[in-house]
Amino acid sequence: MSAEGLALLRKPFPARQISKLPKPTKQQTEEVKRDFKAGHRCDLCGTWHHPKVVHLDYVGHAALTDRLLDADPAWSWEPLHVVDGLPVFDGFGGMWIKLTVCGVTRLGYGAAEGKDGPNAVGRVIGDALRNAAMRFGAALDLWHKGDLHADEDAEDTKEDKRATWLETQKAAIFKAATVGELKSIMTSAINVALKENDGAAVDQLNAWSEAKRAQAKTKENA
């Protein structure tokens, strides 16, 4: 059952279980905030947003839960850290979880992505489950658009792009003028790194963030 269940998680999701997630740019969001009529009711995702918004394919909470139950009726998840019986959220409003399927446990991270209050908690849990399930291979094709088995030249190009991206994030982190700006930069960067399944990048980003905070404290005490 364990091998069969884990293999089931890697099966592609049918089209009827794939939803569309609008991903507006900051400029598009601000434009619709200034003028509600600048948006429209989208026929693709059913929400109100800027007409030029790009959509991403994703598997919703219900479809993922259904697949997890098919793979292992006894699957479970729990927060990675708990204090006084409550899950611990990090400084960016995100949470690390442990997802266990067929006796195998893997980590995942969920981000609030601009939500707050009760809506944020639900968003974080759903995002964390999708992220952790991806590490089992669930909906992996939706996370990675392109050839999962690229040749060596393509891998070299990817590494070059990764290095350039990391340097850009480092510069942005150390130029952050406020705590809020730093949190925004980190949330966005960590989401990108996690969707690339790049744990090393997450560690590096967190190290730079800590260094930036220490640098700011030193200036305050000077």
Long-range (24+ apart) CB contacts under 8 A made by 168-172 are 169/205, 169/208, 170/208
Identify whether residues 24 and 115 lie together within a single domain: yes
Q: Is residue 73 part of a domain?
A: yes
Identify whether residues 47 and 99 lie together within a single domain: yes
Identify whether residues 137 and 184 lie together within a single domain: no
The strand pairing partners of 59, in sequence order, are 18
User: Which position has the token pair 């070299």?
Assistant: 156
Domain termination residue (choose one: 96, 119, 142): 142
- pLDDT, one tens digit per residue, over 182-200 is 999 999 999 998 888 888 8
- The total number of structural domains that make up the chain: 2
Identify whether residues 111 and 169 lie together within a single domain: no
Identify whether residues 128 and 170 lie together within a single domain: no
Decide which of 145 and 220 is more confident: 220
Confidence bin at 146 (pLDDT 50/70/90): very low
Q: What percent of the chain has pLDDT over 90?
A: 49
The strand pairing partners of 58, in sequence order, are 19
Average pLDDT score, the chain: 87
Answering whether pTM is above 0.85, one says no
Identify whether residues 95 and 186 lie together within a single domain: no
Domain termination residue (choose one: 142, 163, 181): 142
If you write DSSP's letter for every residue of the chain in order, what string do you get?
-HHHHHHHHTSPPPGGGEEEEEE--HHHHHHHHH-GGGSEE-TTTSSEE-TT-EEEEEE-HHHHHHHHHHH-TT-EEEES-EETTEEPP-TTS-EEEEEEETTEEEEEEE--TT--THHHHHHHHHHHHHHHHHTTTTTHHHHS-S-TT--HHHHHHHHHHHHHHHHHHHHHHHH--SHHHHHHHHHHHHHHHHHTT-HHHHHHHHHHHHHHHHHHHHHHH-
Instruction: Say if residue 145's pLDDT is above 60.
Output: no
Identify whether residues 28 and 113 lie together within a single domain: yes
Identify whether residues 132 and 156 lie together within a single domain: no
Domain that holds residue 165: 150-221
- pLDDT, one tens digit per residue, over 13-48 is 998 888 888 888 889 989 999 999 899 999 888 889
Q: What percent of the chain has pLDDT over 70?
A: 91
Identify whether residues 38 and 111 lie together within a single domain: yes
Domain termination residue (choose one: 118, 142, 166): 142
Q: Judge contact between 109 and 139, C-beta under 8 A.
A: no
Identify whether residues 126 and 168 lie together within a single domain: no
pLDDT at position 91: 85
If phi > 0 it is left, if psi is from -120 to 50 it is alpha, else beta; for residue 74 that is alpha
Identify whether residues 171 and 199 lie together within a single domain: yes
Confidence bin at 133 (pLDDT 50/70/90): very high
Identify whether residues 51 and 95 lie together within a single domain: yes
User: Which position has the token pair 């974080």?
Assistant: 124
